[in-house]
Amino acid sequence: DAKTTQPNSMESNEEEPVHLPCNHSTISGTDYIHWYRQLPSQGPEYVIHGLTSNVNNRMASLAIAEDRKSSTLILHRATLRDAAVYYCILRDPHRDDKIIFGKGTRLHILP
Amino acid sequence: KAGVTQTPRYLIKTRGQQVTLSCSPISGHRSVSWYQQTPGQGLQFLFEYFSETQRNKGNFPGRFSGRQFSNSRSEMNVSTLELGDSALYLCASTTGGRGQFFGPGTRLTVL
């Protein structure tokens, strides 16, 4: 299974942008990059996913490196409610592989 | 659409007992995955069911089993409970290669 590497924790000030990095140097050509986050006392929730091009949705943006070996989840204006553990995972929709969650990045938002 | 629902939300059992947890996926979702989450090990994949067949399995002992019904609802069973089985058990459903949608989880405490 392809592996992702994320920092254990990050801090950001409220109302500032946050860039959460993820390295996936062994990504295959058909792996999609998915991001999830888990707020305290809740199940994980889907944030965004992409293959090659940068993606935007109402929650966040996903910037994917040209060689696809890394990606960055961007929260444009962090709020206290964005404090959560953020997981970056790889999934090939054509291979039915099991999904492996790493330890993720615990994001702390400072008021 | 209603989200993924899991029952019960909380459960207390004693060592040696068995437990059955239930998951109802989002309508139309045919794939259901189960995860165990503990503070020490994080989110660990248990198994995935698709159209009533187990498609993937994680590295858990045979005491952990599951099944899926024709309406895509799924159950997981843990027999001969051990203290270390205390965890949050999460169910997620998906359709195709898009993101997974998680339920709120069942908090199992084994005494």
CA distance A42 to chain B (A): 6
Torsion sign across C-alpha atoms B23, B89, B46, A40: positive
The pLDDT tens digits of the residues spanning B70-85 come to 999 999 999 999 999 9
Contact B45 A99 (CB under 8 A): yes
- From A94, A95, A93, A87, select the one nearest A3 (Cα to Cα): A87
Evaluate if residue B38 carries a pLDDT over 80: yes
CB-based contact, A98 to chain B, within 8 Å = yes
- 3-class secondary-structure state, position A36: strand
Which residue reads 């989840």 in tokens?
A73
Evaluate if residue A1 carries a pLDDT over 60: no
- From B58, B21, B30, B39, select the one nearest A99 (Cα to Cα): B58
Evaluate if residue B97 carries a pLDDT over 70: no
Q: Which of A6-20, A64-78, A91-105 has the lowest mean pLDDT?
A: A91-105
- Is residue B104 exposed (0-12), middle (13-18) or buried (19+ Cβ within 10 Å)? middle
Q: What is the pLDDT of residue B81?
A: 97
CB-based contact, B40 to chain A, within 8 Å = no
Residues from chain A contacting residue B56 (CB–CB below 8 Å): 96-98
Contact B33 A99 (CB under 8 A): yes
Q: Rounded to whole angstroms, how far apart are CA atoms B89 and B13? A: 14
- 3-class secondary-structure state, position B83: helix
